[in-house]
Amino acid sequence: MDRSEILELVLDHYHNPRNKEETPEASAIWHGGLPGCGDLITAYLTVADNHVQRATFTGDGCTISQAAASMLTEQLIGQSVESVAEMNQSTIVELLGEEMVQTRPRCATLGLDAFRAAAQEFLRQQRLNSTSGGA
């Protein structure tokens, strides 16, 4: 996509966010934020058979942070929790383009960091449950 197509997509996700809702019954929830600028994201992952069945978020902030989180929710469905836990900045670069990520890296990666942390926490809890006999 060229720059104008990416901007159009980002604005669409900002004004019409996908999967922006609380999911209190989610398998993993993680709160992330950038105190300096007021961007906040809460990531919710619902997991079954070690794969993401549902990804939602809530939050407030700039166009880039909120649009990137919205775009990510669509990408996460069906992925293994392990792959979500191992995502890196290249995931966001593919969605937003290198120029936008380089211009606002903390905003662009806030949702990524929150979803990745939620997946890592889910896996940590799974390991704890398996070593303690499921208690």
Task: Map out the domains of the chain as residue ranges.
Answer: 3-123
Rounded Cα–Cα distance for residues 113 and 104 (Å): 14
- Joined together, the tokens standing for residue 41 give 């994201």
- Joined together, the tokens standing for residue 66 give 């909120």
> What's the mean pLDDT in 62-77?
97
- Joined together, the tokens standing for residue 116 give 């990745």
Residue 13 burial (CB count, 10 A): 24
pLDDT at 35 over 80: no
CATH of domain 3-123: 3.90.1010.10
Confidence (pLDDT) at 3 = 86
Confidence (pLDDT) at 25 = 97
